[in-house]
Every structure is written in C-alpha cells, then in structure tokens.
Amino acid sequence: MTTSLVVTAVGPDRPGIVNELSEAAQRVGASWAASRMANLAGQFAGMVHFEVAESRAQELERALAALESPRLHVVIARSGAAAAPAGRRIRLELVGHDRPGIVRDLSASLAQRGVSIEELETQVASAAMSGESLFKVKALLAVPAGVSDADLRGGLEALANEMMVDLELGEAAA
C-alpha cells in the first residue's frame, strides 16, 4: 500500500532546492508524482506530491523535515487516495486593469456556486500599448453537476462587467 505526502517548500531561491527534495525522496524509494514550482518575488515556492510505501512514509517525513532551516520552510501533509475531480472541468481566463479585490470577488462568486478552484495562476503584467498594469488570471475549475453552464457563465459575466474585465470560459483539455 502506498501513502501520498504533499510537501510545500518556501525560501529564498537558490540552486539545489529541488535536488534536495528529490534526493530525500530517492533515499527512501519514494516516487515524485506531481509538482508545481515557481520563483515569486525572489522566493522559491514549491509543492510536490510524493508517493511512498506506507512502511517508509515516516522515514520520508523525517528526511523532508530535516531540510527545514532558517532559509527553507517545509510543510508536510499526508493525503489519502486522490479523489477524482467532482463535476466537469472548466478553464477560466480573466484580464483587466489591476486593482485590489479581483481574486476575492472572483473566488466568492465561484464559492457561492459550489465551484472549486483546482488550479490558479495570477500575474500582473504591463499592457502592450499603454504600459498600464493588467491583472491576469488563469484557472481550472471543478464545476458541480448541479450548476448549469448558463448559471456559471451568467454569474461570472455579470461579475466581469462589474469589475470591467475580460472573461473567457471554455472546456478544459482532457
């Protein structure tokens, strides 16, 4: 039987962090199942899903915890079997002038409909012609069967009009 560990590591970016995580996993025979990593404002921020034999899960936890230092914070969570996403998956993209509250308003509208955000990527970028700050959102949503496409689209388009942003919804790639 295997156990899943989801590990978050955050600290000032430097060469070798990913290697340290992979070496700790390799020593106990764990498999690197999935990951998301980025350099955000000079900080390394990474999440890794490891799969390891149940008999070696504590050993992996100890090896990963040993990486903790004043310059690298490590959080480890055990996870049960991965559940299949509920409902259908929808891709969302939003672009508009940067202002406080965009993520709050968007996430509140989604939560109100029972929609889960499976992946979320945001960034502030300069507009091509004007140089103004644009806020960009890319998200993968899990939409419950009880929420119609019309309800989701209608609610999000009303919000987009209120926030004066461009919104695009589409089927997620399989």
Domains 2-79 and 88-171 are alike in CATH topology: yes
Q: Which residue has the tokens 């926030």?
A: 163
Q: What integer is the mean pLDDT of 10-19? A: 97
Query: Could you give the strand order of the β-sheet that contains 88-97, starting from the edge strand earlier in sequence?
Result: 116-126, 133-143, 88-97, 165-171
Q: What integer is the mean pLDDT of 23-35? A: 96
pLDDT per residue as tens digits for the range 144-169: 999 999 999 999 999 999 999 999 99
Output the pLDDT for position 11: 97
Output the pLDDT for position 86: 65
Q: Determine how β-strand 2-12 pairs with β-strand 43-53.
A: antiparallel
Give the separation between CA 154 and CA 162, rounded to whole angstroms: 12
Confidence of residue 138 (pLDDT cuts 50, 70, 90): very high
Instruction: Judge contact between 87 and 152, C-beta under 8 A.
Output: no
Q: Is 155 left (phi over 0), alpha (psi -120 to 50) or beta?
A: alpha
The pair of three-digit structure tokens given for residue 75, joined into one six-digit string: 């959080």
Torsion sign (Cα): 120, 126, 135, 99:
positive
Domain 88-171 = CATH 3.30.70.260 = yes
Output the pLDDT for position 81: 59
- CATH number for the region 2-79 comes to 3.30.70.260
Residue 109 has pLDDT above 90, yes or no: yes
Residue 84 has pLDDT above 70, yes or no: no
51, containing H or E segment: strand 43-53
Q: What integer is the mean pLDDT of 14-31? A: 96
Q: Where are the domains of the chain?
A: 2-79, 88-171
The pair of three-digit structure tokens given for residue 54, joined into one six-digit string: 């149940």
Largest CA distance in the chain: 58
